[in-house]
Amino acid sequence: MAPAGPSSREPIISDDSGSESTDSREDEEGWDDVEPDEDDEAAQEVISLLDDRVFPDVESMLAHCRDQHGFDFLAVRQRLQLDFHGSVKLVNFVRQRVHEGLPVVAEDITPASINDDRYLKPVLDDDAVILGLFDLPETTNTTAATPGDATTTTTTTTADSDVLARNNAELREDLARVTAQFESYRAAVQQTLDQRWGDVVDVEADAKAVAEADRQRKGEEKERKEKGKKGEFANPDDGSKYYWESYAGVEIHETMLKDAVRTDAYRDFIYNNKHLFKGKTVLDIGCGTVHQTTSS
């Protein structure tokens, strides 16, 4: 038997390249599965703060709220000087009020309105507005501004301007009213002073008249006494003639009538003590009581 020769079959070489290619493709497909879907991110909808409208981005939604509802989110955030957490509270505060059917008025929102940690919890799950807060312009710090800082701006809403204008008008009305009252008061004071100065002049004139009348009376009295000593009076009663003659002039009566102090005193006494005069006969005791009493 002939020895067996070399085998005519070719050696089998294992080709792993095909399996490696298959594994690589499977790995790549696995990585593709875990990568985020960019289309899903782009399709995220931004729901309006004040209605059911949907927008592609936060900026357009805020513009809609400002133009259609008069609510300027950025202006409120600037006025309250809110940071990111404060802005989150503001978003949830607005959504909560809309959810409860309550009005949202920008001018009524104060730091105390959103000073509650419950507003850190989103009212709307996966709220795109909160995620979009990072893309909004930052608030400017108006308190730290310097006079020469041209980059610092102050945002004033139309409503704030209306309030300032109304307050200004009210202050102007108050100023005009106070000015008119002051002018009236000044005129009254001037009139009173003029009257009092006039009274002083009259009193001085009256005092001179009284002094002159008194001088004349004393002279006449002295003359009568001298005549009495000489026995020139036929009737002793004629010695009282000077008393009646002293009332013959107008000055003494005018002086008594202008004596407001005594006249008012008589009047007050009579009015406050009517029971003393009721049914009584009043005797004139002189000293001008008749003039003062009848004038009062």
- Tokens, residue 45: 């909808």
* Residue 107: per-residue pLDDT: 94
Q: Are 252 and 286 in contact (CB under 8 A)?
A: no
Range of lowest pLDDT (169-173, 178-182, 212-216, 250-254): 250-254
Range of lowest pLDDT (105-114, 199-208, 277-286): 199-208
pLDDT tens digits, 131-163: 889 888 887 775 544 444 444 445 556 667 878
pLDDT at position 50 over 90: yes
pLDDT tens digits, 1-10: 444 444 444 4
pLDDT tens digits, 8-45: 444 444 455 454 554 555 555 544 454 545 545 445 78
pLDDT at position 68 over 90: yes
pTM higher than 0.75? no
* Residue 8: per-residue pLDDT: 43
Query: What residue segments make up the domains of the chain, in order of their start?
Result: 43-141, 259-296
